[in-house]
Amino acid sequence: MAGTAEDTTTAAPAARVEHVSKSFPAPGAPGGRQLVLDDITLDVAPGEFVTLLGASGCGKSTLLNLVAGLDRPSAGTIGTDGRPALMFQEHALFPWLTAGKNIELALKLRGVGKPERRQEAERLLELVRLKDAHGKRVHELSGGMRQRVALARALAQDSRLLLMDEPFAALDAITRDVLHDELTRIWRETGLSVLFVTHNVREAVRLAQRVVLLSSRPGRVARQWTVDLPQPRRLEDAAVAELSAEITEELRGEIRRHGQH
């Protein structure tokens, strides 16, 4: 059912992180550095769904930002198959634009001609099951609908790698559950590679083919699990709960070890 992950693919990875470390200036210590990530090596295979899991402050979002190209590592190298698309916890939609126009803006920046943008935006809205939302403004949309539009806008970038930084954390449990199903469906339909940051163990197990646990700061790859449970999965499935309990115990151990330093 689950075990240590092994990369058996021979195709070039969608993302390759090799011996990456990242440090920042240490507060209150002039000239000092604080190590946040330490010697991370991680591949995401084409079409693979990987979740990054760890305690708050372990460097999950920092690593995602490095893969996205928003920052540079202090050491090591990162390579991706084209430019990744990035989706945040906050939808970051422009409130003065409609849902459709938010997506069309991403298409415009990609170089899609004006005549094609409306049609492609409508196709993407239909993909995220918001077929009639093109003309709706952000304030007319629920939190879950806004995240669907944000997902459609990310897909508009035509990237083969989607980076997601706790995109459902602010949503209520029912909406989050629905969007788990939608994301799984879209991932399977599109063949995208996904690197998904979360601190929620059951969310990680429900969504991923592979769960990567980072240690507490500095973040290192502590352990990985292959999740070969059939999709779609439910949070309440016995097998999901069983693996989640195993991973939670490992996470608690990492937090305890960190607290002893």
Reported as a single tens digit per residue, the pLDDT across 80-136 is 988 999 998 777 899 999 999 999 999 999 899 888 999 999 999 999 999 889 999
CA distances from 103 to 51, 96, 256, 260 (A): 26, 13, 44, 48
The CA distance from 170 to 136, in Å, is 22
Q: How confident is the model at residue 42 (pLDDT cuts 50, 70, 90)?
A: very high
The predicted model scores a pTM of 0.90
Q: What's the CATH superfamily of 12-84+164-261?
A: P-loop containing nucleotide triphosphate hydrolases (3.40.50.300)
Reported as a single tens digit per residue, the pLDDT across 57-78 is 889 999 999 999 999 999 999 9
Question: What is the model's pLDDT at position 84?
Answer: 95
Q: Any idea what DSSP says for residue 137? A: B
Question: What is the model's pLDDT at position 4?
Answer: 40
- Give yes or no for a contact between 129 and 121, defined as CB atoms under 8 angstroms apart: no
CA distances from 183 to 110, 152, 193, 213, 231 (A): 23, 11, 12, 21, 12
φ, ψ at 259 (rounded to 5°): -70, -20
Q: How confident is the model at residue 10 (pLDDT cuts 50, 70, 90)?
A: low
Domain with CATH 3.40.50.300 in the chain: 12-84+164-261
Average pLDDT, the chain: 90
φ, ψ at 260 (rounded to 5°): -85, -10
Q: Which residues contact 122 (CB under 8 A, 6 or more apart)?
A: 100, 131, 134
Q: Torsion angle of alpha carbons 231, 235, 241, 245, nearest 10°?
A: 110
Question: What is the model's pLDDT at position 6?
Answer: 42
Q: Which residue from 57, 125, 141, 130 is spatially nearest to 91, judged by alpha carbons?
A: 141
**Average pLDDT over every residue of 150-174:** 92
Q: How confident is the model at residue 26 (pLDDT cuts 50, 70, 90)?
A: confident
Q: How confident is the model at residue 164 (pLDDT cuts 50, 70, 90)?
A: very high
